[in-house]
Amino acid sequence: QWNGPVSEVYSPVCLPTADGTLQRKLVGSFPVTGPAEALEALEAAVAAYDNGRGEWPQMAVAARIECMESFVGKMLERKKLVVNLIMWEIGKNLADATKEFDRTIKYIYDTIDTLKTIDRNSSRFRIEEGIIGQIRRSPLGVVLAMGPFNYPLNETYTTLIPAILMGNTILFKTPKHGSLLHYPLLEAFRTSFPKGVVNSMYGRGADVIPPVMQSGKVNVLTLIGSSRVADQLQRQHPKLNRLRSIMSLDAKNAAIILPDADLDVAVSECLLGSLSFNGQRCTAIKIIWVHRSVADDFLRRFSAQVSKLKPGMPWDAGVQITPLPEPSKPDYLADCIRDAEANGAKIMNEGGGEVAESLFKPAVVYPVKEGMKLYREEQFGPIVPVVPFDDTEEFIDYLITDDHGMQASIFGTDTNAIAQLIDPLVNLVSRVNINAQCQRGPDTFPFTGRKDSAEGTLSVEDALRSFSIRSAVATKDT
């Protein structure tokens, strides 16, 4: 029973109203958590952990896995509802919303399998003459978890699930866009795990996060979101240097197209890489560098493909460009384009940059150069800035001087030229893709970044390690 304030959730999908105007559709509402309820939820997580003596952190790994398997069963029963809510709340097309759900289920099973292996390897052994040792993986305590709107289920769960499985207790803040879909799943958490293991907060981060962080009772902060929010949050913790943070943040992933690149491959990979889910992926290609000798050819082919992407409603088959959930985004994107045009760039594709309510038709912008917003800012939307270059050193300099360091893609056929780029690039970003788009998967790969792009590493195995500590029991062998 909730008597407090509620917040209405509007879909990015605009539908005609009785008077013929288009309006964002109301999807539902949620109770707004205030500071007092946030602290109550925190105390529930603290009590369930009970300094490591709680039922959950003390439970054997096999029993924890059983609880998780029971949760997955309940998740699958709710699949249709959750997928529909992903679609309505963030405008992700139905096919991709379904993929997000299925990928999450696979991630959970892969995490369970990896945990079983880690657990098997923590048996007792004679560590050296006179000492029997056991090295375990132990939980860290209370985890404050926050996920993004673009993968509100998958990305959130890639931190939540390993954190839970390792024996931690959770305080989870739902994203601003993509909150309702968590309701049916939180109920499944409640009935699958002991009381207090998973606790949630809805509402404005600015109201609920500061008191929680300032309490000093959060042991681990995990955020998939922006670097700006990460900085604010970390500063709020009283023992900043003792706070473990696992974060995936801003990115400006760059692709380079070498003079001998197979342009069919480069065009199709850059198309997927830069514009799937309207470019709203941290791993999206956010700027393309093309060698001047092939720039015209690449731009002609790439722009033609971009113009063919089908805009529309997320439930319609074949639709690739869908309404944007952040109400201020179309204005921001239009401003980026104005800024580039004022400095000599042009939109290269038909219809690019056209706005219809929350729909923004993707724009290929060329030539982008230093000083324009699109050169350095993470647009996180359907604009593809393209930069001409003569020497690969210009591209390397760009990466060196950029604040981000998540991924890069190289397109080319000369294996020597590619090899010469790989070595400097892997020391500037955390993943280099050859003749392939930037992306997170497969989930066994490390998902991380340098500079402002990440802290800590996620992958099925890395995440389990990140949310735990190696602890030891040493017995004198007499």
Which tokens sit at 353? 């940059």
- Residue 283 interacts with ligand G3H (CB under 6 A): yes or no: yes
Instruction: Say if residues 446 and 430 touch (Cβ distance below 8 Å).
Output: yes
Residue nearer to ligand G3H on the CB measure, 192 or 274: 274
Q: Pick the piece of the chain touching ligand G3H (CB under 6 A) from 40-48, 186-194, 276-284, 425-433.
A: 276-284
> Is 380 near ligand G3H (CB under 6 A)?
no
Nearest partner of 396 among 432, 448, 345, judged by Cα = 432
Regarding 451 and contact with ligand G3H (CB under 6 A), the answer is no
The nearer residue to ligand G3H, 173 or 440, going by C-beta atoms, is: 440
For ligand G3H, which residue of 93, 111, 150, 358 counts as binding (CB under 6 A)? 150
Q: Rule CB under 6 A: is residue 92 a binding residue for ligand G3H?
A: no
Query: Could you give the CA distance from residue 191 to residue 25 in angstroms, rounded to a whole number?
Result: 32
CA terminus-to-terminus distance, the chain: 61
Q: Is residue 278 near ligand G3H by the rule CB under 6 A?
A: no
Question: Count H helices, E strands: the chain?
Answer: 16, 20
Q: Which is nearer to ligand G3H, 155 or 461 (CB)?
A: 155
For position 252 contacting ligand G3H by CB under 6 A, the verdict is no
Listed ranges 166-174, 257-265, 373-381, 434-442: which one lies at the site for ligand G3H (CB under 6 A): 434-442
Least spacing, CB of residue 34 vs ligand G3H, in Å: 30
Answer whether the bond into residue 367 is a cis peptide, omega within 30°.
yes
Q: Which of 252, 281, 361, 451 binds ligand G3H (CB under 6 A)?
A: 281
Size of the site for ligand G3H (CB under 6 A): 9
CA distances from 185 to 81, 200, 249, 259, 318 (A): 10, 11, 25, 50, 29
Closest CB to ligand G3H among 238 and 441? 441
The distance of closest approach from Cβ of residue 140 to ligand G3H in the complex, given in angstroms and rounded to an integer, is: 23
Q: Taking the complex as a whole, how short is the minimal distance between the CB of residue 158 and ligand G3H, in angstroms?
A: 8
H/E stretch holding 315: none
Beta carbons of 393 and 297 less than 8 angstroms apart: no
Task: Report 153-212 residues binding ligand G3H (CB under 6 A).
Answer: 155
Residue 153 or 171 with smaller CB distance to ligand G3H: 153
Question: Closest Cα partner for 313 from 7, 24, 9?
Answer: 24
User: How many C-alpha atoms does 219 have within 13 Å on its Cβ side?
Assistant: 20
- What single DSSP character describes residue 390? S
CB 440 to ligand G3H: min, Å: 3
- By beta-carbon proximity to ligand G3H, the closer residue of 141 and 152 is 152
Q: Does 459 bind ligand G3H (CB under 6 A)?
A: no
| Stretch of 42-50, 150-158, 294-302, 420-428 contacting ligand G3H, by CB under 6 A | 150-158
Q: How far is CA 410 from CA 258, 273, 414, in A?
A: 8, 12, 11
CB atoms within 10 A of CB 361: 19
By three-state DSSP, how is residue 193 classified?
coil
Instruction: Based on the shown chain and the rule CB under 6 A, indicate whether residue 286 belongs to the binding site for ligand G3H.
Output: no
Token pair for 417: 């030229």
**Between residues 44 and 284, which has the closer beta carbon with respect to ligand G3H?**
284
- Reduced to 3 states (helix: H, G, I; strand: E, B; else coil), residue 468 is strand
Structural contact between residues 385 and 346, judged by C-beta atoms closer than 8 angstroms: no
Amino acid identity at 308 = K
CB 97, CB 89: distance < 8 Å: no
Single out the residue of 282, 285, 348, 368 in contact with ligand G3H (rule: CB under 6 A): 282
Which region, judged by CB under 6 A, interacts with ligand G3H, from 82-90, 126-134, 149-157, 303-311? 149-157
Is 439 an interacting residue with respect to ligand G3H (CB under 6 A)?
yes
Report the residue number, 392 or 437, with the smaller CB distance to ligand G3H: 437
CB 193 within 8 A of CB 67: yes
Number of Cβ within 10 Å of residue 318's Cβ equals 9
Smallest distance, Å, CB 248 to ligand G3H? 7
Does 448 participate in binding ligand G3H (rule CB under 6 A)? no
Q: Judge whether 165 and 151 are in contact, CB under 8 Å.
A: no
Run of H or E residues at 85: helix 79-90
Stretches 137-145, 330-338, 396-404, 433-441: which one binds ligand G3H (CB under 6 A)? 433-441
- Binding part of the chain for ligand G3H, among 40-48, 183-191, 212-220, 278-286 by CB under 6 A, reads 278-286
Interacting residues toward ligand G3H by CB under 6 A: 150-151, 155, 281-283, 439-441
